[in-house]
């Protein structure tokens, strides 16, 4: 990969991260909300894995944007669940979000290896 294409890939990934960041759930822990904190921490870990994969050259910009779109969808669903339940998520909602995160995590792993 030459320098110009590397910069293009990095620019696309940063742009996708910023776009999904506006949808992503908050990064700071919410006191008294362990289910929400767990989901948010997993989303942050996946964002870090995607960024590391791009930096290593194991994930291209298209794949990164696709993965970040999935993460943004999970964050949006979490926000909707919180809004329905007065700032909390139920155990079932947490299980559903974790199931989606597991699928995305496996996809990220396969792309990096």
Cα 63 to Cα 104: distance, rounded to the nearest angstrom: 11
* Mean pLDDT along residues 65-94: 91
Mean of the per-residue pLDDT values of the chain: 80
In sequence order, what DSSP letters do the residues of 49-91 get, joined into one string? HHHHHHHHTSS-HHHHHHHHHHHHHHHHHHHHHHHHTTT---H
Q: What is the pLDDT of residues 11-62, one digit of tens each?
A: 655 665 555 444 444 555 555 678 888 888 999 999 999 999 999 999 999 9
* Mean pLDDT along residues 63-86: 91
Alpha carbon 96 to its chain's center:
15
Q: Which residue has the higher pLDDT, 2 or 53?
A: 53
98 with 39: CB under 8 angstroms?
Answer: yes
Q: Is 75 exposed, middle or buried (0-12, 13-18, 19+ CB in 10 A)?
A: buried
């Amino acid at each position: 990969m030459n320098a110009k294409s590397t910069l293009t890939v990095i620019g696309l990934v940063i742009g996708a991260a910023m776009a999904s960041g506006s949808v992503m759930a908050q990064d700071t822990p919410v006191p008294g909300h362990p289910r929400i904190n767990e989901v948010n921490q997993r989303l942050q870990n996946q964002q870090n894995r995607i960024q590391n994969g791009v930096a290593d050259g194991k994930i291209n910009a298209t794949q990164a944007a696709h993965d970040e779109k999935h993460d943004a969808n999970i964050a949006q669903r979490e926000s909707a669940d919180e809004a329905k339940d007065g700032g909390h998520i139920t155990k079932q909602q947490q299980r559903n979000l974790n199931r989606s995160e597991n699928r995305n995590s496996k996809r990220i792993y396969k792309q990096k290896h």
